[in-house]
Structure 1
Amino acid sequence: MNTAPPALLDEAPAGPPRRTGWHPLDVTEVRHLNPDTVAVTLHVPTGLRDVFAHHPGRHVVVRHRRAGTELRRSYSICPPPHTPTALRLVIKRGGPGGFGEYATTRLAPGARLELSAPTGTFALPHLPGAHHVLLAGGTGITPLAPMAAHALRRDPDCRVSLVHSVRTSADAVLADELAALKDEFLDRLTVLYVLTREDRGSGGGPFARRLDDSGVRRLLAAVDARPGPDTTFALCGPPGLVTTARHVLADTGADPSLVRWELFTTDGTPPRAPEPAGQAPRAGEHRVTALLDGRRRAATVLPDDPVLLDALLRSHPDMPYACREGVCGSCRAKVVSGQVTADGQHALDERDRAAGYTLVCRARPRTPEITLDFDA
C-alpha cells in the first residue's frame, strides 16, 4: 500500500485510528459469490460506529483463533451498495488450514469474528473532474469498486474507467453490483473485463489473455486513459499485474503522485530475513523501542529473531501485523532513530522509504538502538 497525500477525494475520519485493540462483530450474512469466494457481512453496533468509520480503500485485520493457533488476515472493506454503513468483507478460499478455507466452508450467520479498526492509506487523489482509471486483478476489485462508486457520487464532473482482470467470468465477483452502478452512471462509468483463462473463441476480443506489457497498453488506449494532470490511476491485485502496470505507466509519463497501488498477495515465497550490512552485532546489543497509540514499548532483539516484529511480539502481543509478507502494511512504522535493513517491502513505495518508513515484519536492526513510531 502506498502513502497518499494529505488531500484525498475519500477523506478519512478526523484523527489517526487506533492501531491496537480487537472488536468482536457478529456475522449477519455469508453469501457465496462463487465456489471459492464469499461475501461476509457483519453487524457494527452503535457503540463501535465511530471505530469502524472509514473511507473507501481501507482494510481491517481479522484475527481467528483455532486449535491453539492464531491466524491473521487483512481484508479490504467493501460495503454493500444499498447499506453503506454495514461492514462487508470479500474472502477467497486459499490454501488448506487458512482462514479463507474456514470462511468459505464453515463460517455462518451468528458466528463472531474479531476485527481491528480500519486502517490504510489507499485512496484516490483529490482531483475534481478527473478521469479515474482503476485496474483490478482478481479479488483486488474489493477496494476499487467502493472507491469508484464513492468518486462518482461525490464528484459529478469526474468519470471512472474500471478494468477487472479475472481467470473466467465466474471469477468476476461484484459484477452484478458494478452493472447496477453502470446503469446509474451510464455516461461516466466504463467497466471492462479481461478474461485470462476462458476460451471464448473468436469472440474473446483483444483482452482475453493474461495482461502483459502490451496488453496493459492496449487497455489504457481502450479506455482513453492518457497520462496527464487530470488522470489518476489506482491498481490493486497480484504483484505481477501491479508491477507491469506501474512500469507501463512510468514509461508513458504518468505522474507518480497520481498513481496509487496496493497488493493483496505475494508470490508465496516465505519471508526471508535480510542480512544486515557489515559485521553482525553480538547477542544482546540490539534494543528496539516502539511508539504505538501514544505508549512506549521496548524489547530486546535476540539472535534468532527473524525480524523486529518477533522481538516486539514476545513482550507486546498487541503489536499490529497481519500478513508477515510485506504486503498489507499493517505493521508500517517510521524509523525515528537508528537504522534497519529490509527487503520485500511491497506495501511501501519510494516516497514511503524516503520518508523513513519500514515494515516491521521485514526489518532487521543495523544499529544497537532503534526507535519506531507506529503513530507517525
Structure 2
Amino acid sequence: MNTATTAPTGHAARPAARARAVGRHTGWHRLAVAGVRHLPEDAVAVTLHVPDALREIFAHRPGEHVVVRHRGTGTGTELRRSYSVCPPPDDPAALRLVIRRGAPDGFGAYAMSGLAPGDILELSPPRGAFALPERPGAHHVLVAGGSGITPLAAMAAAALREDPDCRVSLIHSVPTPAHALLADELAVVKDAFVDRFTALYVLTREERDNGPLRGRIDAEKLPRLLTALHARPGRGTTFALCGPAGLVATVRQALAEWGAAPDLVRWEPFTLGDTPRTPPPADPTTAPHETRVTAVFDGHQRVATVGPQDAALLDALLRTHPDVPYACREGICGSCRAKVLAGQVTTGSQHALDAGELAAGYTLACRARPLTGEITLDFDA
C-alpha cells in the first residue's frame, strides 16, 4: 500500500475500536525487573516492578504493547523492541512481557541469557489500538500464529472475566505442541471457564494426515475449524488475529469468504526479525531535494532536515533527536504513528494504520517520505 497523506482540513471519524486515548503518556521510564521465568520455545516471561508513582502511567488493557529500549552489550548500539503486555491469568494488572530469542545480538538473546531480577529496563508507556470488538455476549474467535498468542491470551482471559455471557475460542498455529507458548496458562483459563473457553492447536509440522489440526491454516482449513468451534457468520461472532503477516492476510481473506462481518475482525501482524527492513529508495521525480520537518512529541517541537539519503522521515529525525518514538521500523508496530499537521507525505507499505486513520491524516514516520518542502508531524496526537 502506498498512500498519500495530507494535513486534513477537518476531523475525520475513526472506528471506535481503533481509537487511541487522547493525551496518552509518553517518554521513557526506568523499571526494575521483578521476575524472569523461562518458557518453552526459546522464550522468557519478564515481569516488571511498577512503583506506585507510575501505576497510572503503566495501567494497561489487553492488546496494548510497550517499547523496550536497550543498549547492546559491548557495542553500545541502541535496540528498541515492541512487546505486547501479557499478564498471567491470575494477575491481570501485572506488567509482564513474553520475549522470544531473536538474532544472537538482539534483545531477545540478552533477555534469555543475561536478564535477572533487579536489572533496570527502559520502557515506554503502554499504547496500541488492538482490541476485541465490544460485543457483549459474543463468541470471540482468536487466531494466533506462534508468539502472536501473547496479546490474544490476555484478551481471552479478560473477556471471560468481564463478560459472563461471552464465549471465547482460540486457534493457535504452532509447529509442534512443544512450541505452544503459554499453553500451561491457557489450561488454567480452561479450568476456570470450562464451559466458555476452547483452545485448538493446529500443528504445522505434523502433516501425517489431512485432519483440521494438521498443516497450515488456509482458506480450506479455516471453515472446518470454525465449524468445529460452532462459530457462525454474523454479528454475534468477532475475530482477533495476531501472527506473521502472511498468516494474518490468509485468515482475513478466508474470513471474508466465510462471511465474517468485516467490522468485527481485528488484526495485528508481527515481525520476527531483529534487522529492520527499510523502504525502497524514494522516487527522485516526486521527492523534494530537501525537506524541513517539524516533529511534536512529549509536548516539545524538534526540527530536522530530510535529504535524499534518508529512506524515511524517521531517519532524518533520529540523526538529531534520538528520543523520537519508534520500535520495529517495518510499519508494523505503530510506535512511530504521527498526524500530519502541515505538508504532504506518501506512506509506503505498512500494517499498523487502517483506512480511517490514513484518511484522518495519520502516517508512520518509518514509512513516510516527503512530498512537500515543509512538513509538521504530531506524535502526541
Instruction: State the TM-score, normalizing by the size of structure 2.
Output: 0.90
Would the aligned equivalents of 1:274 and 1:341 in 2 still touch at CA under 8 Å? no
Q: How does 1:172-191 map to 2 (within 5 A)?
A: 172-191=180-199
Using the alignment, how far apart are the partners of 2:267 and 2:341 within structure 1?
A: 25
How far apart, in 1, do the equivalents of 2:153 and 2:140 lie? 12
Match of 2:76 in 1: 68
Question: Is the contact made by 1:307 and 1:361 (CA closer than 8 Å) also made in structure 2?
Answer: yes
Q: Are 2:371 and 1:366 aligned?
A: yes
1:306 to 2:306 alignment: no
Q: Could you tell me how far apart the structure 2 residues matched to 1:275 and 1:266 are? A: 26
Shift of the alpha carbon at 1:35?
4.8
Q: Of the candidates 277, 301, 305, which is equivalent to residue 296 of structure 1?
A: 301
1 CA distance for matches of 2:257 and 2:187?
32
The CA deviation string for residues 307-335 of structure 1, in whole angstroms up to 9 with x for no partner, is 10111122322210001111111001122
Aligned-partner SS, 2:296: strand
CA shift at 1:266, angstroms?
6.2
Question: Where does structure 1 differ by over 3 angstroms across 4 or more consecutive aligned residues?
Answer: 266-269, 276-280
Counterpart amino acid of residue 368 in structure 1: G
Letter in 2 for 1:360: A
DSSP-derived class of the 1:213 partner: coil
Which of 275, 279, 282 aligns to 1:275? It is 282
Q: Which residue is 2:331 aligned to?
A: 326
Tell me, yes or no, if structure 1 residue 105 matches structure 2 residue 134. no
Indicate yes or no: 2:168 matched with 1:160.
yes
Query: 1:150 Cα deviation (Å)?
Result: 0.7
Equivalents in 1 of 2:215, 2:112: separation in Å?
28
Alpha-carbon distance between aligned partners in 1 of 2:129 and 2:224, rounded to the nearest angstrom: 29
Deviation at 1:4, TM superposition (A): 7.9
AA of the residue aligned to 2:358: R
Query: 1:274·1:364 contact (CA, 8 Å) conserved in 2?
Result: no
Match for residue 169 of structure 1?
177
Q: Which of 193, 218, 240 is matched with 1:234 structurally?
A: 240
1:60-96 CA distance string (max 9 Å, x none)? 0011112221001000001122222221110111122
1:32-51 → structure 2 map (5 Å cutoff): 32-51=38-57
| Distance across 1 between alignment mates of 2:121 and 2:276 | 28
* Pairing 1:220–2:218 present: no
Instruction: Select which of 12, 16, 38 maps to 1:6.
Output: 16
Q: State the match for 2:96 in structure 1.
A: 88
Percent identity, please: 65
Distance 1:181 1:4 in 2: 33
Contact 2:82 2:328 in 1 (8 A): yes
CA contact (8 A) 2:17 2:129 kept: no
Counterpart for residue 321 of structure 2: 316
The residue type equivalent to 1:109 in the other structure is: P
In structure 2, give the amino acid aligned to 1:347.
Answer: A
Q: Using the alignment, how far apart are the partners of 1:310 and 1:70 within structure 2?
A: 14
The equivalent of 2:4 in structure 1 is: none
Structure 1 residue 25: Cα displacement: 1.3
Q: Cα deviations across residues 12-54 of structure 1 (Å, max 9, x unaligned)?
A: 8x753223x2111111221111151111111111111111001
Matches of 1:312 and 1:270, distance apart in 2: 18
Q: Is 2:150 the counterpart of 1:142?
A: yes
Q: Is the 8 A contact 1:292 1:374 kept in 2?
A: yes
- C-alpha change, 1:251 and 1:337, in structure 2 (3 Å) is farther
RMSD of the TM alignment (CA)? 2.2
After TM superposition, the structure 1 stretch with the greater mean CA deviation from structure 2, 333-342 or 22-31, is: 333-342
Separation in 1 of the partners of 2:137 and 2:14? 19
Indicate yes or no: 2:25 matched with 1:18. Answer: yes
2:271 matches 1:259: no
Greater length-normalized contact order (CA 8 Å, ≥ 6 residues apart): 2
Point out the more displaced range, 135-144 or 100-109. Answer: 100-109
Seen in structure 2, the aligned counterparts of structure 1 residues 229 and 373 have a Cα distance that, compared at 3 Å, is same
Which is worse superposed, 289-298 or 359-368?
289-298
Return the alpha-carbon distance in structure 1 between the equivalents of residues 15 and 355 of structure 2: 14
Q: CA deviation at 1:274?
A: 5.0
Distance 1:274 1:216 in 2: 38
